[in-house]
Amino acid sequence: MGYAAVKKKGFLLVTVLLLTVVLITAGLAFLGKRAVQYRRAALLEASSQARALAEAGLEDAMIKFRRDLEFPPLSLDQSEFTYTESFQDADGDTLGYYTVTIDGSYRDPPYLFLIVSAEGRVGADPIKPLASRTLRVEIDLDLFAAGAPDTFNPYFRAVRNFEDLGGI
């Protein structure tokens, strides 16, 4: 075997090693990209759950408004009322929370509305949630229609304004 034959085998070995390194690098890059896609999908799912929890909080507050004319129980010197509810799965593990805050700063004339904020948080830890979302609505408290003091307001205790404040 001559020097030229050994040189060809060495060249072939180096080529195969370089090709292997390139293929392994491309495979790792592909796997890394998939991992990012899976994390984004999980975050999107948690974000959707957080919005659903926030919507559940708003709906809970609206049901309480419809059933109880004394809700929220705000005293004259109190402008805010807050409550939190948690959700568990069938095994009793906590899935998330919603916190409803009712701001009564504008409940008196000339404004006559309440601001209700509901924050949905996904995860067992309420301090460090996987995702959170906040929704805010204004509830009309004017018993009479604007400009017609003899006419009942059809939107009394109904949503007047809706805002999605986003989340993480």
Cα angle 137-41-24, degrees, rounded to a multiple of 5 = 155
Task: Please report which confidence band the pLDDT of residue 5 belongs to, taking 50, 70 and 90 as the band edges.
Answer: low
Domain ranges, ordered by start, for the chain: 37-167
Q: What is the mean pLDDT of residues 87-100?
A: 93
pLDDT above 90 for 77: no
pLDDT above 70 for 7: no
Task: Please report which confidence band the pLDDT of residue 75 belongs to, taking 50, 70 and 90 as the band edges.
Answer: confident
CA distance 35 to 139: 44
Is the distance from CB of 101 to CB of 95 less than 8 angstroms?
no
Lowest mean pLDDT among 39-43, 106-110, 141-145: 39-43
Among 57, 85, 81, CA closest to 71: 81
pLDDT above 90 for 80: yes
What integer pLDDT is reported at residue 1 of this predicted model? 55
Residue spans of beta strands (DSSP E) within the chain: 80-88, 94-103, 113-122, 131-140, 144-145, 148-152, 159-167
Considering only residues 41 and 48, tell me which one the structure prediction assigns the higher pLDDT. 48
Give the count of alpha carbons within 13 A of 108, CB side only.
Answer: 7
What integer pLDDT is reported at residue 54 of this predicted model? 96
What integer pLDDT is reported at residue 65 of this predicted model? 87
Q: Count how many residues are written for the chain.
A: 168
Among 111, 112, 109, 131, CA closest to 121: 131
